[in-house]
């Protein structure tokens, strides 16, 4: 009963249930506070924390993790005040979750805690934020000296490029540690394959980027997926060979029915 009342935000019912000696608010591995935290019911979290039986760090600090994931900043602040709660648990899962979901206020708050390491798990926080286009989070993480945006074979710019997040790509390129040609020019290959022409243009402006890398994978990807404007742009670069890999580009375009690309390549 108290778990359901906590989950659904029924504060008055939670209070009544807590007055009954038969009710244990820590039951099922402290499910009540975990539910309340996940759904942002800060008043219920407060009252549950007043009960000595309740452990907000239960289930590997699940309460703060789910609150962070959902962006409930007031719940996060409240839980962090409890000495039993460790925001760096599970290899700094909280900052990774907050970054992934773009909860900038939560990210900023967590970074004020010395236990939190934004570079944990091979700098996954900035990689996830970049992948999902959360530019304010990326900016905040880049301001932290512990964060390396080139980690994971430049995962941040590769995923940002592949998903078309041009502002994030621009920001990352301003950092000298970032190499847009990493992993055999994966960034431009991903951007080309997904039709993100503005990202492709931006990457082509960088002398380190080679659009013919990996046996002209970029134009093959663009052709196979029917991204005619990207194909045209790539062909303006003398390094690109549309006949590479036994004319794979036109074969892929033909096989996938991209007539406009086929006609252009012919």
Give the mean pLDDT of 156-180. Answer: 98
Long-range pairs for 62-68 at CB < 8 Å and ≥24 separation? Answer: 62/34, 63/30, 63/33, 63/34, 63/37, 64/37, 64/94, 65/89, 65/90, 65/93, 65/94, 65/97, 66/34, 66/37, 66/38, 67/37, 67/38, 67/40, 68/94, 68/97, 68/98, 68/103, 68/106, 68/110
The tokens describing 156, both together, are 């941040």
- What's the pLDDT band for 190 if we cut at 50, 70, 90? very high
pLDDT tier at 157 (50, 70, 90 boundaries)? very high
Query: Could you tell me what percent of the chain has a pLDDT over 70?
Result: 100
Q: For position 31, what pLDDT does the model report?
A: 96
pLDDT at residue 48, as a whole number: 98
177 confidence band (pLDDT: 50, 70, 90): very high
Q: For residue 23, what pLDDT is reported?
A: 95
The pLDDT-based confidence of 248 (bands split at 50, 70, 90) is very high
The per-residue pLDDT for 202 is 99
| Burial (CB count within 10 angstroms: exposed 0-12, middle 13-18, buried 19+), residue 108 | middle
pLDDT value of residue 211: 98
Sequence-distant (6+) residues with CB within 8 A of 217 are 184, 185, 189
pLDDT band of 145, cuts 50, 70, 90? very high
Exposed, middle or buried, 239 (CB in 10 Å: 0-12/13-18/19+)?
exposed
Q: What is the pLDDT of residues 116-136, one digit of tens each?
A: 999 999 999 999 999 999 999
CA distance 80 to 49: 12
Contact (CB, 8 A) for 265 and 242 = yes
- Residue 28's pLDDT is 95
Written as six digits, the tokens of 138 are: 């990326």
pLDDT at 102: 99
Q: Which residues of 14-50 are buried (b: 16+ CB within 10 A; e: fewer)?
A: beebbeeeebbbbeeebbbbbbbbbbbbbebbebbbe
Q: What is the DSSP-derived secondary structure letter of residue 144? A: S
- Measured CA to CA, the distance from residue 67 to residue 77 in angstroms comes to 10
Mean pLDDT of the chain: 97
pLDDT recorded at residue 207: 97
**pLDDT per residue over 253-264, tens digit each?**
999 999 999 999
Q: Which structural domains are found in the chain, ordered by start?
A: 1-85 (1.25.40.20), 87-179 (1.25.40.20), 185-195+210-265 (1.25.40.20)
Give the largest CA-CA distance in the chain: 81
Please indicate, yes or no, whether the overall pTM of this predicted structure exceeds 0.85. yes
| pLDDT score of 237 | 98
Distance (Å, rounded) from C-alpha 2 to C-alpha 100? 31
Tens of pLDDT, residue by residue over 209-227, are 999 999 999 999 999 999 9
């Amino acid at each position: 009963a108290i778990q359901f009342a906590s989950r659904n935000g029924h504060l008055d019912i939670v209070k009544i249930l807590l007055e009954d000696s038969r009710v244990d608010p820590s039951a099922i591995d402290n499910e009540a506070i975990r539910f309340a935290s996940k759904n942002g019911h800060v008043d219920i979290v407060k009252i549950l924390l007043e009960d000595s039986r309740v452990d907000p760090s239960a289930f590997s600090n699940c309460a703060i993790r789910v609150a962070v994931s959902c962006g409930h900043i007031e719940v996060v602040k409240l839980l962090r005040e409890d000495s039993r709660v460790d925001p760096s648990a599970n290899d700094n899962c909280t900052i990774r979750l907050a970054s992934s979901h773009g909860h900038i206020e939560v990210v900023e708050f967590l970074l004020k805690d010395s236990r939190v390491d934004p570079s944990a798990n091979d700098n996954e926080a900035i990689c996830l934020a970049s992948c999902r286009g959360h530019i304010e989070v990326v900016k905040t993480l880049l301001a932290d000296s512990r964060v390396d945006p080139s980690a994971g074979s430049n995962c941040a710019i590769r995923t940002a490029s592949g998903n078309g997040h041009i502002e994030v790509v621009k920001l990352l390129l301003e950092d000298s540690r970032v190499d847009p040609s990493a992993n055999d020019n994966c960034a431009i290959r991903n951007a080309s394959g997904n039709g993100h022409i503005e990202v492709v243009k931006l990457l082509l402006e960088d002398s380190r980027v080679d659009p013919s890398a990996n046996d002209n994978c970029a134009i093959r990807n663009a052709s196979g997926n029917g991204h005619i404007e990207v194909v045209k742009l790539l062909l303006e670069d003398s390094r690109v060979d549309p006949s590479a890999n036994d004319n794979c580009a036109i074969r892929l375009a033909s096989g996938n029915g991209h007539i406009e690309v086929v006609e252009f390549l012919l």
